[in-house]
Amino acid sequence: MRYLTRQRKKLLETLEKHRDETLSADGIMALTGDEAMSRSALYRNLSALEARGLR
């Protein structure tokens, strides 16, 4: 991860807040409340986080 974008920060905050839950992509998008985040951006950010060892 090169830098912390607004979308990535919002995603990390959401995942931290719901760390004990199993979430779908739709669920994550609904919880972030970020209507500007596209599904492709969500998957790109999730892949980047997984590559960094965050699961």
Does 42 score more than 90 pLDDT? yes
- Give, rounded to a whole angstrom, the gap between the first and last alpha carbons of the chain: 14
- The reported pLDDT for the residue numbered 2 is 65
Rg (CA), the chain: 10
Q: What's the rounded Cα separation, in Å, for the pair 39 and 17?
A: 20
- Would the pTM count as exceeding 0.85? no
**pLDDT tens-digit map of 2-39:** 678 888 899 999 999 999 999 999 999 999 988 888 99
Question: Who contacts 48 (Cβ-Cβ below 8 Å, separation ≥6)?
Answer: 1, 8
- Which DSSP state fits 33? -
